């Protein structure tokens, strides 16, 4: 442990992801939904999404993604687990506790974190806090979702968007100057807009899409600008913008507002849809594996979600081990 006066940073040292094997194309959706492939592609950027089977759980996806992140990080005892999710497997106990036990991590602190699609960024801030509080030297942050369970059956305004998946990172105690250190984290919420995306239970989601769209662009742009300034960067220094994958039109507008060129913006919504709190770690894992994200890149992460919630942070991307690779990305 470092002396008390030494500032501690949380440094990413492992990353992983998991997707259900079943792929549902827009064409398949059109067989039971009043929509078209052309509408979904042009209005959202989505061509297909991965959907978990009825017997699969958020816990299953979380364990798969986390196991990969753990296998890829240097062997070290993980001392805390944060599971960001909007779709826990039950109200009580927290899904995180059984995820930890499944991973052989019985005994460590483990909690669920509900911050909508911004959950992964809230999770990173929580990991920074665990490390600064000397409660843990290494933290596993997972985003895992079965968002496909939330829309009402037949609701063409939400069914095409929401999908399933998981992503995970391992963070270790380190120094702020190291590659992989999580930069200043900007977070916010505004419950006066709680009605814009709301559900009391699976299958009853209500969303005011156009209003959500407007807030998503404004909040992610503002949070990104604040995070970049807090890190002491200039926007033109940013090599990769990694926005929560809500809608390709939203993320393109965010990039345009920030004057980040299109080729510096990472996207995977075309193949995975909106996977909520899993979206950012899933995209980071894919992009690191296929070379779009390289060691030394200056990266901005930003997200927005139900609540409303929003956030952003910065990372100098580290040199990570990327084997074993997830089956989907080989
Ligand atoms: N297929 C065909 N038509 C559809 C459709 C679909 N899947 N979904 C909606 N429409 C129709 C609407 O019924 C409406 O028809 P009308 O003009 O006859 O009333 C028309 O398309 C336009 O609807 P609108 O809601 O204004 O479309 P939009 O361009 O705003 O796109 C969303 C809708 C949902 C794709 C878009 O608003 C969005 O992505 N919002 C953000 C959602 C989000 O990201 N939520 C999660 C945040 S983390």
C-alpha of residue 155 to centroid of ligand 1, in Å: 11
Final residue in a domain of this structure, among 154, 174, 194: 174
Q: What is the per-residue pLDDT across 75-124, written as a single tens digit (0 to 9) for each? A: 678 999 999 999 999 999 999 999 999 999 999 999 999 999 999 999 99
Q: How many CB atoms lie within 10 A of CB 308?
A: 22
User: Is residue 285 in a domain?
Assistant: yes
233 in contact with ligand 1, CB cutoff 6 A: no
Residues 325 and 244 in one domain: yes
Q: pTM to 2 decimals?
A: 0.95
* CB neighbourhood size of 300 (10 A): 30
Q: Report if residue 240 sits inside a domain.
A: yes
The CATH number given to whatever domain includes residue 31 is 3.40.47.10
Residue 4 lies in a domain: no
Pocket test for ligand 1, best of 209, 219, 246, 310 (most atoms within 8 A of CB): 209
Q: Are residues 194 and 145 in the same domain?
A: no
Helix (H, G, I), strand (E, B) or coil at 153: coil
Q: Both 152 and 220 in a single domain?
A: no
**Averaged over 141-165, what is the pLDDT?**
97
Residues 85 and 41 in one domain: yes
- Res. 324: pLDDT tops 80: no
Q: What is the pLDDT of residues 178-236, one digit of tens each?
A: 999 999 999 999 999 999 999 999 999 999 999 999 999 999 999 999 999 999 999 99
- The tokens describing 145, both together, are 């979702």
Residues 168 and 194 in one domain: no
Name, in order, each residue with C-beta under 8 angstroms of 68's C-beta and a sequence gap of 6 or more. 16, 17, 18, 168, 324, 326
Give residue 65's domain range. Answer: 9-174
- At residue 220, the pLDDT reads 98
Q: Whose CA is nearest to atom 24 of ligand 1?
A: 210
Q: What is the dihedral of CA 32, 33, 39, 44, to 10 degrees?
A: -100
Share the mean pLDDT of the chain: 94
Residues 114 and 192 occupy one common structural domain: no
Final residue belonging to a domain, choices 144, 174, 204: 174
- How do residues 227-242 score in pLDDT, each as one tens digit? 999 999 999 999 999 9
What spacing in Å lies between the alpha carbon of 209 and ligand 1's midpoint?
6
Q: Are residues 158 and 19 in the same domain?
A: yes
> Do 203 and 251 reside in the same domain of the chain?
yes
Among 174, 202, 232, which residue terminates a domain? 174
Task: Report, as residue numbers or ranges, the catalytic residues.
Answer: 117, 244, 274
The verdict on 69 and 149 lying in the same domain is yes
- How many CB atoms are located within 10 Å of the residue 188 CB? 16
Backbone angles phi, psi at 233, to 5 degrees: -95, 165
Model confidence band, residue 326 (pLDDT cutoffs 50, 70, 90): low
Residues 161 and 211 in one domain: no
d(CA 3, CA 206): 50
How many angstroms is it from 210 CA to the middle of ligand 1? 7
Assess whether 163 and 204 both reside in one domain: no
- Ligand 1 contact, 9 CB (< 6 A): no
């Amino acid at each position: 442990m470092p002396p008390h006066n030494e500032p501690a940073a949380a440094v990413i040292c492992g990353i992983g992801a998991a997707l259900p094997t079943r792929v549902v194309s827009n064409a398949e959706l059109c067989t039971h939904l009043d929509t078209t492939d052309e509408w979904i592609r042009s209005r959202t950027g989505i061509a297909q999404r991965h959907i978990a089977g009825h017997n699969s759980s958020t816990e299953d996806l979380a364990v798969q993604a986390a196991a990969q992140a753990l296998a890829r990080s240097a062997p070290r005892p993980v001392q805390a687990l944060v599971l960001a999710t909007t779709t826990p497997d039950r109200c009580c106990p927290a899904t995180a506790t059984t995820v930890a036990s499944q991973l052989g991590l019985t005994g460590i602190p483990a909690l669920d974190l509900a911050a909508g699609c911004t959950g992964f960024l809230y999770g990173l801030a929580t990991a920074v806090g665990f490390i600064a509080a000397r409660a843990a030297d290494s933290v596993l942050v997972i985003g895992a979702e079965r968002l496909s369970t939330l829309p009402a059956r037949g609701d063409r305004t939400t069914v095409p968007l929401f999908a399933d998946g998981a992503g995970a990172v391992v963070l270790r105690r380190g120094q702020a100057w190291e590659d992989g250190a999580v930069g200043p984290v900007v977070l916010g919420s505004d419950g006066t807009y709680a009605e814009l995306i709301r559900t009391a239970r699976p299958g009853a989601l209500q969303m005011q899409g156009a209003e959500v769209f407007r807030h998503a662009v404004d909040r992610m742009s503002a949070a990104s600008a604040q995070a970049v300034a807090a890190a002491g960067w200039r926007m033109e220094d940013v090599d990769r913008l990694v926005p929560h994958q809500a809608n390709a039109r939203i993320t393109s507008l965010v990039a345009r507002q920030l004057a980040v060129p299109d080729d510096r913006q990472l996207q995977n919504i075309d193949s995975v849809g909106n996977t909520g709190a899993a979206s950012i770690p899933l995209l980071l894992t894919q992009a690191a594996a296929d070379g779009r994200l390289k060691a030394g890149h200056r990266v901005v992460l930003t997200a927005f979600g139900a609540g409303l919630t929003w956030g952003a942070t910065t990372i100098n991307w580290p040199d990570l081990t990327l084997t074993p690779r997830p089956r989907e990305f080989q």
